[in-house]
Amino acid sequence: MLLTDLPPDTLDEIVGALKAIRGSSLFSISLVCRAFRSPSQRRIFHLILLEPSSSLPYNPILPPAHHVRLRDILKVNPILATYVKDLRCVQQDLSSAVTGRFADNEIKKPWMVDHGHLLTEILQLLDSAPIRTFALENVPGAVPLNWFSLHSALQSAFLRIFRNSNITSVYFTGLSLPQNIFSAFTANLKHITLGIFTWSPDDLLSAPHPPVFHRPSSLQVIVSRNPDRLFDSIGAQTGLDLTDVRKLQLDICYVLPTGNLTRFISLPKLKDLLITIPRPGRGDNTNFNLSQAVCLRSLTVSSNLFSISTEEFSLIDPTLASLPSHASLKTFTLKLIICCDSARATDVEPFQLLSKTLSCLHRRIRSIRRIIFKLNLRWLPGT
């Protein structure tokens, strides 16, 4: 039997095993034989990340060479576009990557504006791609990215990607977006992640007729401002209906304005909640009050602590104590990331306190079947 006679799934497993066991690159595996070419290409083009290279000089006039190569490859072999399942467009902080005669100039425009025509060509070549996940991200420190600063042709290319019926997950962060941007997606959109963002009062997108009202089942939000206003901006201004959200992740920024998370936590169908708290006990503890989390089945609390000490560990108590005793919780997970030195690493008293706290939680909420504790120690320099 020839390798080409094997089922595609078997070939895909062989390629995956070669990469995992031998540490070979997918590019080299694809050159071994014709049978390995297609499975390797499927893995290579599964994720396309469109961003300038931070290790190469950035030129606002000449487009990134790897983007030019990607465009040319897709033109020569269009079938590669059908392997793309995850598409991400990222605006990086390129201030340290400017060299040559541009070194003394600040980067005033996002690369998506500088090289929008090339990006438009690439997106047009991906029109037929079965994309499931799309991300448009502006990382902290980068030039602000406003949807309306993009060329009209690039906006149209993005909108064609948005209308791809295969997309089920979308990630937006660090952007200024039109209020009705979600109307461009099909009803198959179920998982939405919103980082730090602002809504533009302008609605320049042509909404489909009849308009699509999305009811996502999964939502992840970075809470960087008043939670009540944030909840209203997500629901009222975008047309998203949050009543069907079953899985929610709230990433709390280090400085949280006054307000609480009640409106997020009390969503009627919410079953799985993951809340990331930078350091519990800072300021008003009502910010992290979980008293409305009655219908939860799974709760994960993740937090950063400054040291291994009873004072730090005791900061977790108010958050856990706010859980109602009549909650229907089945699984509780506590994840702690702690900066420590070798002198405090052997201190057992804080962990005894934590064990007592978790035991009290188990006795108070009888429905809990599993308590999971995960600890990540980060050693301080010089220890």
DSSP character string of 149-211: GS-HHHHHHHHHHHT-TT--EEEEESEEEETTGGGGS-TT--EEEE-S-EEES---S---SSP
d(CA 322, CA 287): 11
Q: Is the pLDDT of residue 382 over 60?
A: no
Alpha carbon 88 to its chain centroid, in Å, reads 11
Are residues 134 and 170 in contact, defined by beta-carbon separation less than 8 angstroms? yes
Q: Is the pLDDT of residue 103 over 50?
A: no
Residue ranges covered by each domain of the chain = 1-44, 271-383
pLDDT, tens digit, 9 for 90 and up, residues 15-45: 777 776 665 677 787 777 878 788 888 888 9
d(CA 309, CA 281): 14
For residues 228-243, average pLDDT:
76
Number of CB atoms found within 10 A of residue 356's CB: 11
pLDDT, tens digit, 9 for 90 and up, residues 243-284: 889 999 988 775 554 566 778 888 889 999 998 877 655 444
Token pair listed for 159: 């909108």
Q: Is the pLDDT of residue 287 over 60?
A: no
Which CATH number does the domain 271-383 belong to among 3.30.479, 1.20.1070, 1.10.260, 3.40.50?
Answer: 3.40.50
C-alpha closest to that of 123 among 91, 145, 170, 155: 155
pLDDT of residue 117: 92
Token pair listed for 234: 């997500």
Q: Is the pLDDT of residue 101 over 70?
A: no
pLDDT of residue 34: 79
Instruction: Count how many Cα atoms sit within 13 Å of the Cα of residue 374 in the half-sphere of its side chain.
Output: 10
**Mean pLDDT of the chain, nearest integer:** 79
Backbone angles phi, psi at 214, to 5 degrees: -95, 140
Q: Is the pLDDT of residue 349 over 50?
A: yes
Per mean pLDDT, which of 66-80, 187-201, 325-339 is the most reliable? 66-80
d(CA 211, CA 75): 34
Per mean pLDDT, which of 11-25, 118-132, 208-222, 366-380 is the most reliable? 118-132
Omega before 210 within 30 of 0, i.e. cis: yes
